[in-house]
Amino acid sequence: MEEILALYRELHDVFGTGNLCESFCENIRTTIQEALDAIPPDARTAIRGGGDHTNVLFAYFSLDQKQITGIFDRQVTMDSQCGYPCFPAKELPNAGCGVVILSSFYYREEILAELRPLGLRIIDPYEELEKQGIELIAPLDQYSPESSLTLNHFYRKYLESRDGPGRNRALHDVLQAAVELKDFVMVRRICAENAAPKDPLLLEVQAKTENLLQTIRRRIQDRKQKDVMVFWTDAVSYYLLPQMPLMLEKSKHSCFFRRAYTHTPFTHQSLSAIFTKMLPIDDYERAKGPVCRENSPLIQYLEDRDYDIKFIAHLKSSMDSRYFLETSLSASCNVKWWAGLERWLSSEKPCFYIFHILEESHEPNISPDLQAFTDTRFKSPLQERQRQTALAYLDQCLALYSEMAGDTVQVFLSDHGQYIFPLPNWSEERLHAYCFALGKNIPERTVSRFFPYRNFDCFAKWLVEPEKYPLEDACADEVIFQDTDFYNPVRISLFIRHGIPKEGLAIRGVLNDTCRYTVNALGEETFFRYAEDGTEEPAVLEDPRLRAELQKKCGTNFLDIYQLDRFQHTRKLYEYLKSTQE
């Protein structure tokens, strides 16, 4: 790996020794903190806007010496947040405040229009940044030295300056940012777009980049170990695979599971099912701990064959530290790929690595070439366009990783579909994942039976020792799914605020070749039959014997949330449901 790191340093040194992305992010923090520091210590100060953005405000910036009177929000669903009382926004004009700090990004213009007539001093972090020439298209916490949004800032500057006097500076900066984020897809794009006239900087960057990539591929191909690289794209359903045409084409020449299903449409629970076979309700107490050798048949099998196992992600509490390679929450797919690559090419053991790709595939779907940004939790044309843009870019990155890996065994999969209101947790779009494998000695075939992720260890055994373990062991005739009630207070407040409290309730269900059955914690059933073309059709479940059979398979017992402290906020959902029915 020393040779590759040396080649990378040579590439980066073309731009100098400084770190552009780190400096940019530090400038964001410093500019906002200075604006907050300028608030007089005796000024009664309000925070306008609640929820996640306010959590970020207090987590990132110091407000300890300020007289914060409270948090004012349009719809108050919590008594307090970050140690301060919450009040309805309509009470702000009479709260006796002279300063108000705006915390929201998505409702920024709406709140500013509401605040300006009040004659208060408004501290808008995004306006403070704009005064310094920094225009953010997303919430400030999405920007970090490892995030694609930081590269996005320089890419948009590059597009704005292509025919202007600042072209050379913008070209230099976007290339440097791309190199710092190990985004060689962007480096190649910029070089291709500026092929003529020949620029000395571009020629040098292009030559060093291609030399680096060729060396990486050669080093991978020189390995004699039977490595397995798993690229886990978070929140990409089976039905979104066509939005990644390069991956779709690869899937046509792979071992492709037509019906790969998760048991719970959330990452932590999917990880637990894959490694330990445990489910969130049936194995509630045991599943709360991290994945480790003691509870994971998959780890036991791989370690017994001397594999180096690494889960490359930010989910530190989900995996025993021995098998975890930590990256930040905002790390781009390319940063994660490079982190895994360093370990991979330094290991003398066979490697089984899972690259958990999040920023591009999971909402809010970030990529360097976004031109606008929206709240992706709710379905809209803007949300759809943002997701398509991010997945198209991710598609190119995955294709590059596959190109570098050559005939190494590679698995491309998703853990569940995208979480967009008002899509139920039990829906086909949430549970139906995609999964395919390719590489040396992997046959081209389409597997039509169900592939439940609890059987992932059987799939891994087939990848490693196909002569000993048949692929059919990974298949099944049905899939059970389940999840507990939500317990995150911010998410619960969101459900109540938007009048969709049942989105947060626990579920159990089963699907097979003919139907899908779901029951929630209130005992409410949902039943679908499959039409001849495979589409689901709502139906009335009139056959008591079929109901009993389905309930026996999926179970009907739910956790008693009044006996578990974790679910103290969940009780508000049931209280809200009760109040609306009275």
CATH code, domain carrying 358: 3.40.720.10
Identify the pLDDT of residue 249. 98
CA atoms of 135 and 139, how far apart (whole Å)? 11
Identify the pLDDT of residue 115. 95
Tell me the β-bridge partners of 508. Answer: 482, 519
pLDDT higher than threshold 90 for residue 12? yes
pLDDT higher than threshold 70 for residue 376? no
Identify the pLDDT of residue 74. 87
pLDDT digits (tens, 9 = 90+) for 184-219: 999 999 999 998 777 889 999 999 999 999 999 999
User: Do 444 and 306 belong to one domain?
Assistant: yes
Contact 533, 113 (CB under 8 A): no
User: Do 273 and 405 belong to one domain?
Assistant: yes
pLDDT digits (tens, 9 = 90+) for 77-102: 788 999 999 999 999 999 999 999 99
User: Do 447 and 555 belong to one domain?
Assistant: no
pLDDT digits (tens, 9 = 90+) for 285-305: 998 889 999 999 999 999 999
pLDDT higher than threshold 90 for residue 494? no
CA atoms of 401 and 396, how far apart (whole Å)? 9
Boundary (domain end) residue, out of 477, 510, 536: 477
Average pLDDT over residues 35-43: 95
pLDDT higher than threshold 70 for residue 260? yes
- Residue 151's SS3 state is helix
Confirm whether 18 is domain-assigned: no
CA distances from 134 to 3, 25, 350 (A): 37, 10, 46
User: Do 391 and 408 belong to one domain?
Assistant: yes
User: Do 262 and 127 belong to one domain?
Assistant: no
Confirm whether 248 is domain-assigned: yes
Confirm whether 431 is domain-assigned: yes
Kindly give the pairing relationship between strand 44-48 and strand 308-313.
Answer: unpaired
Confirm whether 483 is domain-assigned: no
User: Do 355 and 302 belong to one domain?
Assistant: yes
pLDDT higher than threshold 80 for residue 420? no
Confirm whether 342 is domain-assigned: yes
User: Do 230 and 355 belong to one domain?
Assistant: yes
Average pLDDT over residues 371-395: 85
Confirm whether 274 is domain-assigned: yes
Into how many domains does the chain fold? 4
Token readout for 261 is: 């299903």
User: Do 174 and 264 belong to one domain?
Assistant: no
Identify the pLDDT of residue 378. 67
pLDDT digits (tens, 9 = 90+) for 64-76: 899 999 999 988 8
Boundary (domain end) residue, out of 137, 162, 181: 137
User: Do 334 and 422 belong to one domain?
Assistant: yes
Averaged pLDDT of the chain: 94
Identify the pLDDT of residue 423. 76
SS (H, E, C) 547-567: HHHHHHHHCCCCCCHHHCHHH
User: Which residues form the domain of 92?
Assistant: 23-137
Number of DSSP helices (H) and strands (E) in the chain, helices first: 20, 19
Identify the pLDDT of residue 162. 84
Average pLDDT over residues 342-365: 96
Confirm whether 426 is domain-assigned: yes
Token readout for 558 is: 């739910």
CA atoms of 561 and 490, how far apart (whole Å)? 18
User: Do 499 and 413 belong to one domain?
Assistant: no
Q: Determine phi and psi for 231, rounding to 5 degrees.
A: -105, 105
Confirm whether 260 is domain-assigned: yes
CA atoms of 466 and 539, how far apart (whole Å)? 42
- Hey, CA dihedral for 409, 415, 417, 420, is it positive or negative? negative
Average pLDDT over residues 443-450: 97
For 228-252, give one letter per residue: b (16+ CB within 10 A) or e.
Answer: bbbbbbbbbbbebbebbebbeebbe
Identify the pLDDT of residue 16. 87
Identify the pLDDT of residue 195. 81
CATH code, domain carrying 36: 3.40.50.720
Contact 56, 71 (CB under 8 A): no
pLDDT digits (tens, 9 = 90+) for 293-339: 999 999 999 999 999 999 999 988 899 999 999 999 999 999 999 99
> pLDDT category, 580, cuts 50, 70, 90?
confident
Identify the pLDDT of residue 495. 87
Q: Could you give the residue ranges of the DSSP H alpha helices within 297-375?
A: 297-304, 333-344
Identify the pLDDT of residue 397. 98
Boundary (domain end) residue, out of 137, 163, 195: 137
Average pLDDT over residues 434-462: 97
User: Do 251 and 389 belong to one domain?
Assistant: yes
Q: Over pLDDT 70: what percentage of the chain?
A: 99
User: Do 333 and 473 belong to one domain?
Assistant: yes
